């Protein structure tokens, strides 16, 4: 008697002979190549035969690799009811100019139905410099909001319901200081830290790999990350002290599987650093979160999210011995792909964003930001950001995709892509481990070479016409730009600098000196630095002053040139 697999193989061969080959003789397929955005080949057809390996039955494959929603290994999502229980958090990334301008944008977005806050900081803040430092002249507020001291954070968060909404902050090297400012604002408003929900990105390894907004060398930077993980676990229990980010790795030009593998490898490195500190795995692992890109290839992106959940769950349970099921969950935020947006015909970016957002939702994201149509030209205008938010709302309330749990579960194509991503990610993990781990691979230039090769291949495919980018190398349109562009308050920087100077004049200078000395002593020792950082913030030490102390103790990292 033939097995199920043998019967399927016979049926597949019969289909080819009776249907496929005659059809191809009549009407040949259009010219390829047929490939994903990451240049991986796509087969003509996927069937159950693509899911089983090494004699595995279909039932065994389902139970081991796919299973049910809310069931290990969580390929189909971490919640049994999917979005029928709770929709994803609609968290529009915002920040520009002064604290006053960004505060007004947050209030506008909340009025429009946004359900979470997400703060972008400007370049001086990201590099731990005060706005008046000569090295950052001309960079005020251009890619995010400027925050130089607690006084700015107080205005940025004024009248926002911090005990009712979660807040994400995209900050890395100075993450501990910016988070401390958020905590002190809540403290001054009488909101217990136990009620605060949100995330600091705090993913320093990704900075060395892709974004390059680092300050200190990797080892003391990792110490700061673990300090925040330990402090959150014990004092701010609903806060995610890290969001391990593949987003910027993908924006730098990586493939989907590189984004997946590099991100999870960083996540494993943070887990191991926290374990080395002496923390119990179930004390901190449930609050580790992730941040992924949603690029143009609809099915490849969905498969990436599914594979990420499965790989993380297996590692946390089988390698690290986590007992709490929440430690096995990979919870993630998604942002649509900024690198996919075009300055040509910016209105069509609305379509790209909608497809990418739908992939994120079908992939089971917990939180979502949709990019605005004008972001290849400027920071988002109010009109553009409203359309981006409405895109999420249409997906949630009109498309029907949130009505059933994991509607693509069991798709032969999606499941085969998921399996392939898991296998290829393991190959990358092996390559990183062979070099001595993540930090060793950073120092020898492995990540930069891999990402540069992928980005170059992608661009070559566009240049050869193998990959069509609508409006760029096909279907061009020379119509003049008609969308509104954001105009920032020309007085914003002056107002910010006046506030910074007032803070420096009016604070208790002796207390500031004492708190900075205590921070220096903490950095020179082995204690958790968060208490000292919080005391500095309460004394209105500036961001630049705190980071300068750590620069003196830890040094400043200079990345070696690497051949890519």
Q: Give yes or no for a contact between 291 and 30, defined as CB atoms under 8 angstroms apart.
A: no
| 214 token code pair | 């680092």
Report the 3 state secondary structure along 307-331: HHHHHHHHHHHHHCCCCCHHHHCCE
Mean pLDDT of 236-245: 98
Q: Look at phi and psi of residue 160 and say left if phi exceeds 0, alpha if psi is from -120 to 50, else beta.
A: beta
**CB 173, CB 126: distance < 8 Å:** yes
Residue 433, C-beta contacts closer than 8 angstroms, at least 6 positions apart? none
Give the largest CA-CA distance in the chain: 89
Place of tokens 């059809």: 23
Report the sign of the C-alpha dihedral through residues 500, 505, 506, 507, in that order. Answer: positive
Structure tokens at 206: 């990704």
Residue 282 has which token pair? 């179930």
Contact 392, 370 (CB under 8 A): yes
SS3 for 374?
coil
Q: How would you list the strands of the sheet with 167-170, edge to edge?
A: 239-240, 198-200, 167-170, 116-120, 89-94, 367-369, 331-336, 288-294, 242-245
Do 142 and 148 meet the contact criterion of CB atoms below 8 Å apart? no
The CA angle 176-249-64, to the nearest 5 degrees, is 100
Given this model, what pLDDT does residue 559 score? Answer: 79
Q: What's 112's DSSP letter?
A: T
Q: What is the mean pLDDT of residues 66-70?
A: 96
Q: For 91-138, write each residue's pLDDT tens digit.
A: 998 899 999 999 999 999 999 999 999 999 999 999 999 999 999 999
Q: Give tens-digit pLDDT for 511-560.
A: 999 999 999 999 999 999 999 999 999 999 999 999 999 999 999 998 76
Condensed to tens digits (0 to 9), the pLDDT of residues 137-166 reads 999 999 999 999 999 999 999 999 999 999
Residue 537, both tokens = 């913030």
| Helices 349-362 and 382-397, packing angle to 10 deg | 40
β-pair partners for 199: 168, 240
**pLDDT at residue 563, as a whole number:** 43
Question: Whole-model pTM?
Answer: 0.95
* Distance separating alpha carbons of residues 275 and 377, to the nearest angstrom: 44
Give the other-Cβ count within 10 Å of 319's Cβ: 11
Q: What is the mean pLDDT of residues 477-496?
A: 83
Task: Please give the mean pLDDT across all residues of the chain.
Answer: 95
Is residue 312 pLDDT above 80, yes or no?
Answer: yes
Tens digit of each residue's pLDDT (9 = 90 or more) over 399-436:
999 999 999 999 999 999 999 999 999 999 999 999 99
Whether 252 contacts 202, CB under 8 Å: no
Model confidence at 458: pLDDT above 50 = yes
pLDDT of residue 134: 96
Q: Cα(378)–Cα(239) distance, rounded to whole angstroms? A: 32
Q: At 294, is the secondary structure helix, strand, or coil?
A: strand
The count of other CB atoms within 10 Å of the CB of residue 505 is 8
66-463 under CATH 3.20.20.140, yes or no: no
How far, in Å, CA of 498 to CA of 516, rounded?
23
Q: Which of 122, 351, 121, 330 is nearest to 246 (CA)?
A: 330
Q: What is the rounded distance in angstroms from the CA atom of residue 236 to the CA atom of residue 176?
A: 13
Residue 110, helix vs strand vs coil = helix
pLDDT computed for residue 477 by the predictor: 87
Which residue in the block uniquely carries the two structure tokens 């400007």?
Answer: 122
Residue with tokens 């895109």: 391
Mean pLDDT of 32-39: 89
DSSP element (H, E) containing 206: helix 204-206
Question: How many CB atoms within 10 Å of residue 193?
Answer: 16
CB 135 within 8 A of CB 157: no
């Amino acid at each position: 008697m033939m097995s199920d697999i043998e019967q399927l193989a016979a049926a597949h061969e019969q289909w080819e002979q009776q249907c496929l080959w005659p059809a191809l003789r009549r009407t040949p397929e259009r010219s390829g190549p047929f490939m994903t955005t990451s240049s991986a080949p796509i087969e003509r057809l996927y069937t159950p035969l693509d899911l089983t390996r090494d004699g595995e039955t279909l039932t065994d494959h389902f139970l081991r690799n796919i299973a049910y929603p809310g069931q290990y290994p969580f390929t189909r999502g971490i919640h049994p009811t999917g979005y029928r229980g709770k929709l994803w958090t609609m968290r529009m990334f915002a920040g520009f100019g002064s604290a006053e301008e960004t505060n007004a944008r947050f209030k506008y977005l909340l009025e429009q139905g946004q359900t979470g806050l997400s703060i972008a900081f400007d370049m001086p803040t990201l590099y731990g410099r005060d706005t008046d430092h000569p090295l950052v002249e001309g960079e005020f507020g251009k890619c995010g909001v400027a925050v130089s001291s607690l006084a700015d954070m107080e205005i940025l968060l004024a009248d926002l319901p911090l005990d009712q909404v979660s807040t994400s902050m995209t900050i890395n090297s100075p993450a501990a200081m910016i988070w401390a400012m958020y905590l002190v604002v809540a403290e001054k408003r009488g909101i217990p830290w136990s009620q605060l929900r949100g995330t600091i990105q705090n993913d320093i390894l990704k900075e060395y790999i892709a974004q390059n907004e680092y300050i200190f060398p990797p080892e003391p930077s990792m110490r700061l990350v673990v300090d925040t993980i330990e402090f959150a676990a014990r004092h701010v229990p609903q806060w995610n002290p890290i969001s391990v980010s593949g987003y910027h790795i993908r924006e730098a030009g990586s493939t989907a599987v590189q984004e997946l593998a590099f991100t999870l490898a960083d996540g494993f490195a943070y887990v191991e650093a926290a374990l080395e500190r002496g923390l119990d795995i179930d004390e901190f692992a449930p609050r580790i979160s992730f941040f992924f890109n949603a690029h143009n290839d609809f099915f490849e992106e969905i498969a990436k999210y599914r594979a990420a959940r499965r790989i993380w769950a297996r590692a946390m349970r089988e390698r690290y011995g986590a007992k709490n099921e929440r430690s096995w969950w990979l919870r993630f935020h998604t942002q649509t792909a900024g690198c996919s947006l075009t300055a040509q015909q910016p209105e069509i970016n609305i379509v790209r964003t909608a497809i990418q957002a739908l992939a994120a939702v079908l992939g089971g994201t917990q939180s979502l930001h949709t990019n605005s149509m004008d972001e290849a030209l400027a920071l988002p205008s109010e009109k553009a950001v409203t359309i981006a938010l409405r895109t999420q709302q249409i997906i949630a309330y009109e498309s029907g995709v949130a009505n059933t749990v994991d509607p693509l579960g069991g798709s032969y194509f999606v499941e085969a892509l998921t399996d392939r991503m898991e296998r290829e990610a393991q190959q990358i993990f092996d390559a990183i481990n062979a070099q001595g781990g993540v930090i060793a691979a950073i120092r020898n230039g492995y990540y930069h070479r891999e990402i540069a090769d992928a980005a170059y291949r992608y661009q070559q495919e566009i240049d050869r016409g193998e990959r069509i980018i609508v409006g760029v190398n096909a279907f061009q349109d020379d119509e003049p730009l008609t969308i509104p562009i954001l105009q920032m308050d020309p007085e914003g920087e002056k107002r910010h600098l006046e506030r910074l100077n007032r803070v420096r004049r009016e604070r208790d200078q002796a207390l500031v000196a004492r708190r900075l000395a205590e921070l220096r002593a903490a950095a020179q020792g082995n204690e958790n630095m968060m208490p000292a950082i919080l005391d500095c913030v309460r004394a209105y030490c500036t961001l630049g002053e705190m980071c300068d102390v750590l620069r003196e103790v830890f040094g400043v990292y200079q990345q070696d040139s690497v051949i890519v």
